[in-house]
Amino acid sequence: MAALEMAAGPPGTGEGIPQLHAMTLFDVRLKQDKARHKAYNQILEQALQKVAYSAVQPNQPTFVYYNVPPFVLGLPALDLKDCVVYVVHQLRNQGYEVRFTYPNLLWISWGHHEHKYLMEKNPIIQSMIPKMATQEKRKGPSLVTMRAAATGAAGAGQTLRAADYTPPAGFVETMERPSPYSRTKNLAGGISETQTKSVRFENKRDGLVNVLDELWKI
């Protein structure tokens, strides 16, 4: 309880004026809150020690269960709800995923950081990433620069992959190859000329091998 003070009264009256400053009312509460804060930190330390122990054990999951104690011997009385809120808040600020089950069970997980560790810090993975990148670069499709026609088509100068190029239908339909039924004609002066009968895909699909189908299999 805050102590009352007596201020001097009017001269000649011999009476004092009792005073109690408002800010002094929180002195006792401040001491109690400091004691509870110390107790909450000790409970938080116990939870972190359990996490640290589990993290170094082989073949252990990346989470632990922790029961917030309703009281601790040698510490002031705890407000369990207030203590749970404090511990959960501090754990989440430190990067843990925390779930609460009434009345005092906490599920604390750090598994969501495992992927980042494997990709950025694990020495085994790091030693394989450069080789994989070089191999993909070597085997990847080459890049070609294709410019649109002078008609102002969209995408002029855009870098595209050769695998994305589709030849026009007219180009494919008019492709010709030398016919196997070619013959050589002797001209005057000993000069020979090869006369070849061209075979069009659109006309010889039934009699000859479909070369166009074989072309797409390459």
* Helix intervals (H) in the chain: 27-55, 80-93, 114-120, 123-139, 169-173, 211-217
Q: Give the CA radius of gyration of the chain.
A: 43
Check residue 66 and give its pLDDT: 96
pLDDT at 192 over 60: no
What's the confidence (pLDDT) of residue 16?
73
What are the structure tokens assigned to 47, written together?
A: 């939870």
pTM over 0.75: no
Residue with more model confidence, 55 or 16: 55
Token pair in block for residue 85 = 């809120």
pLDDT number for residue 37: 92
Interval 21-64: pLDDT, tens: 888 888 888 988 998 999 999 999 999 999 999 999 988 899 99
Altogether, the residues listed in the chain come to a count of: 218
What percentage of the chain has pLDDT greater than the value 70? 52
Query: 106-117: string of b/e by CB count within 10 Å (b at 16+)?
Result: bebbbeeeeeee
Phi, psi at 194, each rounded to 5°: -90, 120
What CA–CA distance (Å, rounded) separates 75 from 83?
13
Using a 10 angstrom Cβ sphere, with 0-12 exposed, 13-18 middle and 19 or more buried, the burial of residue 47 is buried
Quick one: pLDDT band at residue 181, thresholds 50, 70, 90? low
> In the chain, where are the structural domains located?
27-113
CB 172 within 8 A of CB 212: yes
Q: Tens digit of pLDDT for each residue in 88-138?
A: 999 999 999 999 999 999 999 999 988 888 888 888 887 887 665 555 555
* Predicted pLDDT at 149: 45
